[in-house]
Structure 1
Amino acid sequence: MITRAKLVEQLREHQIRSAQSYSAALAVFSPNPHIASRRDLRVALLYALLFCCLMVSCYAALYLKWFKLSSLFVILGILLPVSLKVSRHRRLKRKRERRLLLPLSM
């Protein structure tokens, strides 16, 4: 007989497995250090779609032999993950600084 506790345990295991499946792939495009909520997931998906659009535009510009436009798309495609990584590090740094400002009694 299946009890409620077993169902809850199966649900937790399923959530852990499903969370691990997309978080590793989308962590590059997340401005937050960890994908913890649906909002973070949506933002990461938006940035991933933007990156894909930039790469498809780059290939289309190369096909049409517009090399300057293609190089612009490549530069933007490189700057997108780099800027997201910088913003991630800034958030972590601010979070660490806030922890240090808290009194030890807390």
Structure 2
Amino acid sequence: MITRAKLVEQLREQQIRSAQTYSAALAVFSPNPHISSRRDLKVALLYAFLFCFLMVSCYMALYLKWFRLSSLFVLFGILLQVSLKISRHRRLKRKRERKLLLPLSM
């Protein structure tokens, strides 16, 4: 006999599995360390589309033999990834500092 608690547990497990399908692929493009909300997902998708646009523009510039413009697009793509990585590290650092500020009784 299936109880209500078992159904709730199965639903939670299914939601966790479905949430992990996109978060692993988009974690590279998220300024947050973990994608936990729809807003984080939308921001990660925005950065992913921006990165794809930069790379397609780079390929088009190479096709048209505009090497300086192509290298500029590559540079912007690298800077985008580096800035996202720096923002992730800053958020993790702030989170660790906040945990240390909590009183020991908590």
TM-score after normalising by structure 2 = 0.90
Unaligned runs of 5+ in 1: none
Q: CA-to-partner distance for each residue in 1:3-60, whole Å, 9 max, x for gaps?
A: 5444433322221111111111000000001101110001000000000000000000
1:91 aligned to 2:91? yes
Residue correspondence of structure 1 range 36-51 to structure 2 within 5 A: 36-51=36-51
Note the alpha carbon deviations across 1:32-91, whole angstroms, 9 max, x for none: 011011100010000000000000000000011110000000011111111101100011
Aligned-partner Cα distance in 2 for 1:4–1:72: 57
Task: Report how many aligned residue pairs link the two structures.
Answer: 106
Q: From the superposition, tell whether residues 10 and 102 of structure 1 become closer, same or farther in structure 2 (CA, over 3 Å).
A: closer
User: In structure 2, the residue corresponding to 1:65 is in which secondary structure?
Assistant: coil
Distance (whole Å) between structure 1 residues aligned to residue 39 and residue 90 of structure 2? 19
Counterpart residue type for residue 56 of structure 1: V
CA distance in 1, matches of 2:24, 2:86: 18
- What is the Cα-based RMSD across aligned positions, in Å? 1.5
Change (3 A) 1:103 1:9: closer
